[in-house]
Amino acid sequence: MNSENQFLLGTRAMLPIIVAAIPIGLVFGAVAAANGLSPLEVTLMSALVFAGGAQFVAMDIWTHPASWTGLGLAALLVNVRHVLMGASLGPRLAAFSPWQKYLGLLIMADENWAMSEARARTAPLTPSYYAGMSIPFYLNWVLASFIGAVLGAFLGDPAVIGLDFAFPAVFIVLVAGFWKGPSTGLVLMASAAAAILVHRYVEGAWYIAAGAAAGLAVALLAGRFGKTVPAE
Amino acid sequence: MTLDPNTFLAIVAMAVATALTRLAGAFFIRYISIGEGTREALDAIPPAVLMSVIAPTAFATGWAETIACGVTALVATRLPLLACVAIGVVTVVALRSAGL
């Protein structure tokens, strides 16, 4: 299959997620504008940071003048899950040249990463397919947040029409696709329990890192346990 | 179209921190030999990360969200992505307007 087809296949697979990201981007732009950021600053943040979770957290803790240490640290914390995601995705990028790989990783977000992992289970992940998913998704986020910043207060609360639920729903469907049996159930229970506990008692975005680490720890333990049993 | 120097510095700090997290995993995994145990642990990362992101919505926000998450998970095995998301969103709106 040629690379143009691969690009279009990737875009088509990503389309529902791109549509779901439009209201989120609009809301981010509006929230940022309400925090006193200009449309130029909003667009720069979306283009350079390109991480919705970290950008919303930044709006929660925004100060005047902005504190680069506090905001940089918050972004590091919210996005530390990317380290695990990159470790998982890295070996799937065998068909990428070095610059394709690192450029691709620079625009890796939850959504295109999860879709890449899902794709890699059924077919080799090509650079064109990854670009077809990621480039429209990236441009869409930057444009939506710019429009949101310009429209600002004209936009209402996304919770009224349930759009705040679009991304949790996307992630649930993707989780279901990663089900491999009872061992996945153990991982999910450990991640959920740790995430909820930390979310409840610790301020900030630590819960994502805690949940991911708990799931990984259970998988490592289950792997070790699974190997010792047949030997007996 | 203003660009405040403090805001710009904060955006750059966020961008650098985020870029580091994006590159670090794929960089370091090259120096780890991937045996069967490592592969299984790496395979657990996608569901673990996604579950951690949705857990507060699914279990600690309200009954409308919890039920809507359950409904979405039920249809997830049978329907395509967009249909599942639509069902989830409609469910959460219906339950919220019902006062849950």
Residues A157 and A207 in one domain: no
Domain of residue A222, residue span = 179-227
Q: pLDDT tens track of chain A, all 232 residues? A: 678 899 999 999 999 899 888 888 888 898 888 888 999 999 999 999 999 888 987 887 788 888 898 889 888 877 888 998 999 999 999 999 999 999 999 999 999 999 999 999 999 999 999 999 999 999 999 999 999 999 976 666 666 677 778 778 888 988 888 888 888 999 999 999 999 999 999 877 788 889 989 999 999 888 777 654 443 3
| d(CA B64, nearest CA chain A) in Å | 11
Residues A102 and A205 in one domain: no
For the four alpha carbons of B20, B57, A192 and A199, in that order, the dihedral sign comes to: positive
Residues A165 and A121 in one domain: yes
Nearest to A10, CA basis, from A125, A106, A173, A109 = A125
Mutation target for B interface from A163, A165, A187: give the one with most B CBs within 10 A.
A165
Residues A33 and A113 in one domain: yes
Residues A90 and A187 in one domain: no
State whether A79 and B58 contact (CB < 8 Å).
Answer: no
Q: Which residue has the tokens 């070790």?
A: A224
Residue A232 falls inside a structural domain:
no
Token pair for A70:
């506090």
Q: What b/e sequence results for B2-18 when a residue is b if at least 16 CB atoms lie within 10 Å of its CB, and e otherwise?
A: eebeebbbbbbbbbebb
H or E segment to which residue A16 belongs: helix A3-34
Token pair for B70:
């359950």
Give the torsion through C-alpha atoms of A202, A184, A19, A107, to 10 deg.
70
Q: Which residue has the tokens 């680069």?
A: A68
Residues A22 and A39 in one domain: yes
Residues A164 and A205 in one domain: no
Mutation target for A interface from B7, B28, B71: give the one with most A CBs within 10 A.
B7
Conformation bin of residue A163: beta by default, left when phi > 0, alpha when psi is -120 to 50: alpha
ipTM over 0.85: no
> What residues does each domain of chain B span?
1-32, 46-100
Domain count, chain A: 2
